[in-house]
Amino acid sequence: MIHLSNKKTIDNLSLEEKVGQLLMVGIPGHAPDPIIERRMTQQKIAAYILFRKNTPNVSITQSLTHQLQIMAEKAGIAPLLIAMDQEHGRVIRIDKGITRFPAAYGLGRIGNPGYVFNACKIAGQELRALGINVNFAPVADINTNPENPIIGTRSYGENPFKVAQLVKQAILGYQSAGIICSAKHFPGHGDVETDSHLALPVSTKTIKDLHETELKPFKSAISVKVPVIMTAHIMFPQIDSEWPATLSPILLTGLLRNELQYDGVIISDDLEMKALNQSGPITDLSVKMILAGCDMLIISQNLTCDVSIDAIFQALLNAVQNNIISESRLNQSVERILKLKQKVQQKLSPDIINHPDHAAVSEKMMREIFLENPHSRHFPVDTQPERLLIISDISEILNICPGIKTNRLLLTPDQSLKTYQSTIAEMDEIFIFLSRISYLPALESLQFTKNQNIRFFSLNNPYIQSKIQLPLTSYINLYAECLPLATFNGLIFANFDANK
């Protein structure tokens, strides 16, 4: 029996135990190993984040979370915070054996607050049944920049008021499920053109601009007591000319803590992201983050794996011992984290995972997203398999119609499609499933005939339609996997007889 009632208080924690509370780290595989045991017993790290490499299916995930909590109980640090990014849509860490829900942008397109609440409540319940007690969702960013490579359909949309309303419902849904959730990425990642995993994005927004747009969803989240807010690795030189948001006392302490009166846990985005590279050594930055206002730091061990957890732990410990971080400042963060851990609840029954009732709720949402598009009336098609071609930059898409064995074209970088011109000319029906705008020029270099039906499905970028120069028969935005492949078959190829 795992006891989820942490009786430790700030007064009976050693300095090492306090520093261990500040870190959330990744694990290497499907089970705890000696390194994780050392993290718990010596460094007292009591928060872990899981990725796809850890969660290939339901049974392995349940076993892993159970073993982690057992190990934590023996180390005297239970309950652990066990987190993942399960946003719905394209950012998910487990997709097999659980209920899949539409991406945020798809739900935003419907605009039904009850759908968002129900999707997050059900998803939260299934995560709890897996032993996950923290979900880094919802995304509170507003998708205002067409060139944004990282947010897109992870956002509920472009309208700040609508996004704020749906973010609130998402948080209420997760809270109803008994799971800790997090609004991200403060103060807003929607209006940049750089992926912070790869480089440091820069925004020219002023404080006034943020209040008019980006901050509205975060204010809404704070109004319903969102327990965690995640920072963005973004530079706002009009606000802080020296430090990105994750390192900025102006944004984290001045704006988020003091002005917006947020009293929950502030957690950094992953310290392995390359946006931080130009700001200095990561050990120095970890100390700066705590001084700026962060309570917890994520080191995923999932991206570059060149950020040392041991070095960061020692840097934080040294900073407290040398009074660079005062013990009173350390205690502020530890108290918030211990308070957060009081929200951890027992696992739910595994019987609810992928329950038929949950699947029915999800399918209703997905069908509504698909069918609300006026072009959906064009489906299903009635074409001979040898006269139908599927083109995509996502390999799994090529298998959505079992009857199409040979007429499948996977787009790859720097590929010339002119060699396929004769094949394309023989097709009556062409289905294009595209996630990246970068492939449009190659497609537009081809010659299509007036008699061909070209059906275009956007899988990722909601702005892609404005850039297409193809003679489309129909265009449907599927909002980044808000319709899983099985649903594609049911909706798009429902009456398609592959053996005809």
pLDDT band with cut points at 50, 70 and 90 for residue 363? confident
pLDDT band with cut points at 50, 70 and 90 for residue 357? very high
Cα within 13 Å of Cα(138), Cβ side: 38
Residue 305 and residue 408 in one domain = no
Are 299 and 9 a contacting pair, CB within 8 Å? Answer: no
Residue 404 and residue 322 in one domain = no
Pairing verdict, β 228-231 and 47-49:
unpaired
**Which backbone phi and psi does 115 adopt, to 5 degrees?**
-65, -45
In a domain, 450, yes or no: yes
Q: How far apart are CA 52 and CA 48, in angstroms?
A: 14
pLDDT band with cut points at 50, 70 and 90 for residue 326? very high
Considering only CA atoms, give the Rg of the chain: 24
pLDDT band with cut points at 50, 70 and 90 for residue 364? confident
Instruction: Look at 140-154, 213-227, 244-258, 468-482 and tell me which has the smallest mean pLDDT.
Output: 468-482
Residue 402 and residue 344 in one domain = no
Burial group, residue 60, by CB count within 10 angstroms (0-12, 13-18, 19+): middle
pLDDT for residue 486 is more than 60: no
How large is the average pLDDT for residues 332-360? 94
Annotated catalytic sites, by residue?
197, 269
Among 243-247, 359-363, 367-371, name the most confident range. 243-247
In a domain, 301, yes or no: yes
pLDDT for residue 305 is more than 80: no
pLDDT for residue 480 is more than 50: no
Residue 269 and residue 346 in one domain = yes
Q: How far apart are CA 113 and CA 384, in angstroms?
A: 42
Q: How far apart are CA 3 and CA 88, in angstroms?
A: 30
Residue 303 and residue 432 in one domain = no
| 351 or 450, which is more confident | 351
How large is the average pLDDT for residues 12-20? 94
Residue 477 and residue 350 in one domain = no
pLDDT in tens, 100-125: 888 898 888 888 999 999 999 999 99
pLDDT for residue 7 is more than 70: no
Residue at a domain's end among 356, 386, 420: 356
pLDDT attached to residue 274: 87
Q: What percent of the chain has pLDDT over 90?
A: 58
How much is the pTM?
0.85
pLDDT attached to residue 97: 92
Q: How far apart are CA 217 and CA 164, in angstroms?
A: 4
Q: How far apart are CA 19 and CA 42, in angstroms?
A: 11
User: Residue 251: which of 273, 229, 270, 271 has the closest Cα?
Assistant: 229
pLDDT for residue 129 is more than 70: yes
Q: Indicate the average pLDDT of the chain.
A: 87
pLDDT attached to residue 270: 93
In a domain, 3, yes or no: no
Residue at a domain's end among 322, 356, 390: 356
pLDDT band with cut points at 50, 70 and 90 for residue 5? very low
In a domain, 364, yes or no: no
pLDDT band with cut points at 50, 70 and 90 for residue 352? very high
pLDDT attached to residue 198: 81
Residue 381 and residue 444 in one domain = yes
Residue 138 and residue 274 in one domain = yes
Residue 309 and residue 403 in one domain = no
List C-alpha distances in Å: 323 to 246, 266, 288, 291, 330: 21, 22, 13, 11, 10
CATH code for position 315: 3.20.20.300
In eight-state DSSP terms, residue 403 is: T
Residue-range definition of the domain harbouring residue 264: 10-356
Tokens 């490579």 belong to 149
CATH code for position 391: 3.40.50
In a domain, 120, yes or no: yes
Residue at a domain's end among 329, 356, 383: 356
Are 126 and 354 a contacting pair, CB within 8 Å? Answer: yes
pLDDT band with cut points at 50, 70 and 90 for residue 88? confident
Residue 319 and residue 452 in one domain = no
pLDDT attached to residue 1: 40
Among 17-31, 81-95, 267-281, 430-444, name the most confident range. 17-31
Residue 281 and residue 395 in one domain = no
pLDDT attached to residue 459: 73
pLDDT for residue 133 is more than 60: yes
pLDDT in tens, 448-466: 887 888 888 877 666 677 7
pLDDT attached to residue 500: 38
pLDDT attached to residue 496: 42
pLDDT attached to residue 495: 42
pLDDT in tens, 386-406: 788 888 887 777 765 555 556
Residue 333 and residue 456 in one domain = no
In a domain, 413, yes or no: yes
Among 45-49, 453-457, 487-491, name the most confident range. 45-49
In a domain, 369, yes or no: no
Domain count, the chain: 2
In a domain, 307, yes or no: yes
Tokens 């849509």 belong to 89
Pairing verdict, β 408-410 and 429-434:
unpaired
